[in-house]
Chains A and B, each alone.
Chain A
Amino acid sequence: MYKLNSIKAAGLKELIDQLIFSELLPKLPHQLKHVEILRVYVLLPLTPTFYSGSNSLLPIFFADRLQSLNSQMVSVVTRWMYNGPVDQLVRLISVYKKTILSILEDYNQTQSQVTIIFYLFKAVQVHLKKFSDYFS
C-alpha cells in the first residue's frame, strides 16, 4: 500500500509540504456554512507533513487557525477527532507535546541569550564608566 510519506521524489514531497503550509493553512475555512467544511481540520493533522515534525510551525499555525473558529465549530472538530481512531488521537497529542517542548526549549534558549546580552551590556557600561572617570 502506497502512503503519502513514501513519496520518493524530493521535489514533489517539498511541493506538498509547501502547499499545505503556505496555501492550505491560510485558506482553512472559519465561517460556518455547513459542518462538512470542517473535515479538513481533522484531515490536516493526519498528514505526514504535520506529524513528522519537519515543519515545527505547522502545528502552531494550525492550532491558531483552530482557535479562530467559534466554540461550536471547535467542539464539532474535537468531537470528530475524539471519535476517530485512537492511534490518530495519540499521535496528535504526541505532536503537540513535542511542539510544547520545542517552544519551551526555544524560550529557555532565548532567556539565556537575554542573560548573556544583559551581562555584556553591564560589562560595556562598567568599561564606559571607567573611561568617563579616566577622562573627567
Chain B
Amino acid sequence: MGQLGIPNDSQNTPALVLNQNTPIFCIYAGGDQSFVVLNSSSSNGNLPPCDFQKLYADKQKQILTITKDYVSQMCSANEPVNQEIMEKAEILFASPACWNASFLMLDKRSGPCTWRNIGIDLNEVHLIF
C-alpha cells in the first residue's frame, strides 16, 4: 500500500515519487499490488501513454460480466449450442473475478464497495437468477 515507486521503502500513505524521468506507459492498480510500466525504449519514444478511458469504451478489453443480454442469449439457445456462447460461459462462470465485476451499481451515488455497501444491484441479480 502506498509504496508504488519507492522500492526500498514501505509505507501506508501516498508519497511523491522523485527522479522519474522516464515516460510512464501505463499504471495498473490492483487490490493488493500496483505496477507502473515505463516506456524506456528509445524506439518507442513516441508511444502515447495507455489511456484506459479509451480502452474502457472497447468492449473487447473489458472483463466479462454476467449481463441480461448474455443470459437472454443463453436462454434462447437451442441444442447444439453455439460455440461462442459455450466458450463465454466457460470463462464467465468459472472466474470469481467475472462474478465480482457483475451487477455493479453504476450510479456513483451508491458509493464504493465497503463492508457496509456491497455495491451491486441485488434486485437485478434477482431478475436474472
How many B residues touch A, CB cutoff 8 Å? 40
In whole angstroms, what is the CA distance A16 to B91 when docked?
10
- Beta-carbon contact of B125 and A40 below 8 Å: no
- B residues in contact with A16, CB < 8 Å: 89, 93
CB contact under 8 A between A43 and B102, given known A4-B129, A12-B77, A15-B90: yes
Chain A: residues with Cβ within 8 Å of the partner, total of 43
> Chain B residues near A6 (CB, 8 Å)?
75
Closest partner residue, chain B, to A31 (CB atom): B32
List 8 extra interface pairs beyond A4-B74, A28-B96, CB under 8 A.
A2-B128, A4-B71, A8-B76, A19-B93, A27-B94, A43-B103, A79-B115, A85-B122
Residues of B at the A interface (CB closer than 8 Å) are 30-32, 68, 71-72, 74-81, 85-86, 89-90, 93-96, 99-100, 102-103, 113-116, 118-120, 122-123, 125-129
